[in-house]
Amino acid sequence: MNNAELNELKQRYVASGAATPSPHFAEHAENAQLWDADGQRFIDFAGGIGVLNLGHRHPKVVAAVKDQLDHLMHTCQTVMSYASYVQLAEKLCQLSPVRHDAKAMLVNAGAEALENAVKIARAATGRSGIICFDGSFHGRTLMTLSMTGKVLPYKNDFGPMPGDVFRAPFPNAYHGISDEDALNGLKKVFKTDIAPHRTAAIVIEPVQGEGGFYAASPAFLKALRELCDEHGIMLIVDEVQSGFARTGRFFALEHSEIEADIMTMAKSLANGMPLSAVVGTAEVMDAAGPNSLGGTYSGNPLACAAALAVIEAIEEENLVATGARLGDKLYQRFAGWQKSFEAVDNSRHLGAMAAFELVTDKASRTPDPQLAAALCARAREKGLILLSCGFWGNSIRILVPLTVSDDVLEEGLDVIENSLEELTGGSTARIA
């Protein structure tokens, strides 16, 4: 079927809340490129929203899934376990920067990992309160929507939200919030919303994903660790989008040299297979009683096999170092655009988790989400899949696979540059 025929089916049968506005349908893909149902080629700078750090159909991952399929497809881990589940748990416990001896559990998606992290923190502390940050994104289930720090498009129609979830400012110097401001805001939450002795956990993305690719500084994360220790609060670190070599470390938290009590991970964990994990201090993880955690498909054998192959490929291909080098390349190109275009500002990156902002002008730093939307649309017309993000919707983020070839990377960056030139003229002019 071609794009037009598939669009007819989509309009008739797919709920509008679950449908993409794109008229294209992916048919096949390889590394950082994919082709739609009409045969049109696209360079993929989205990577399934951070799911494909190893690119589409990485040979090692494909081979691992095919081999697992020949042996075991499903039993339900809570009925009878299997080797790949416990082998993956071992690997994740060895790799994750959590305190002391670690244990892990596997589920299906990032939101489900966050839900379970909250349950575990509440069981471990006997407290109920959860503190998150402005601009955060932790998922689309009802509990994680209450934790997510942006109304549209995620939570506008779905209230009321579960209680005992509170929010503090995320440090963002470009938009006027220093580390000190953020810490003072957090302490204010203790005065106005929930006392520390009732707070089970503080949940933070070391680099905000949907919130705009803003990184919390090592100093802020260290202060947060100290604050949690002072009050007996669990520090939950959400690495769903920032993990698995994307930031030039296996996990972004490693840049701060602190450890979490609980970590969540998903997306590139299994490079396209549905899998997520919660890893934490063994004593904390064991606080939840027998049979209180899990699910029918949690830690499916095929997904576990894929994840083990992902970890092996990251180590064999030295993709942690590749993430750092790729980030430097992206940042150098962004810096050039920042000099050339009045609309481009605040170029930033932590490894290959890289972004820049589109503004009406550099003096006011006023976000320009209309230009961001126009840039993504123009890029798609030219064969590049590009995503915006951020609290104001004006940040352009790059989630190209770490395995991208140099020529494909440069081709995609040229599309962005040409599109910016067409939309702005390289001056203060805005889109018509």
Residue-wise pLDDT for 65-91, tens only, equals 999 999 999 999 999 999 999 999 999
Q: Flag whether pLDDT at 430 surpasses 50.
A: no
pLDDT of residue 414: 98
| 131/51 Cα distance (integer angstroms) | 26
What are 356-378's pLDDT values in tens digits?
999 999 999 999 999 999 999 99
- Answer for the pair 82, 92: CB distance below 8 angstroms, yes or no: no
Amino acid at 13: Y
The letter for the amino acid at 69 is L
**Please, are residues 77 and 303 in contact by the beta-carbon 8 Å criterion?**
no
Please spell the DSSP secondary structure of 51-73, one letter per residue: T-TT-BT-HHHHHHHHHHHTT-S
Angle at 277 between CA 271 and CA 278, to 5 degrees: 155
> Over the stretch 35-58, which tens digit does the pLDDT of each residue have?
999 999 999 999 999 999 999 999
Identify the pLDDT of residue 41.
98
Please give the average per-residue pLDDT across 103-122, as a whole number: 98
Per DSSP, helices labelled H in 193-280 are 218-231
Q: Which of 388, 400, 411, 408 is nearest to 352 (CA)?
A: 400
| Distance (Å, whole) CA 135 – CA 142 | 17
3-state secondary structure at position 173: helix
Structure tokens at 329: 């390349």
CA distance 82 to 304: 10
Domains of the chain listed by start with CATH number: 3-57+318-424 (3.90.1150.10), 72-316 (3.40.640.10)
Distances (CA, A) of 170 to 13, 167, 203, 265: 40, 9, 11, 20
Which residues does residue 396 pair with via DSSP β-bridges, in sequence order? Answer: 356, 388
The whole-model pTM stands at 0.96
Q: To 10 degrees, what angle do helices 406-424 and 319-340 make?
A: 20
What's the half-sphere exposure (Cβ side, CA atoms, 13 Å) at 365?
A: 8
Distances (CA, A) of 160 to 130, 155, 166: 17, 9, 14
Going by pLDDT thresholds of 50, 70 and 90, the confidence category of residue 429 is very low
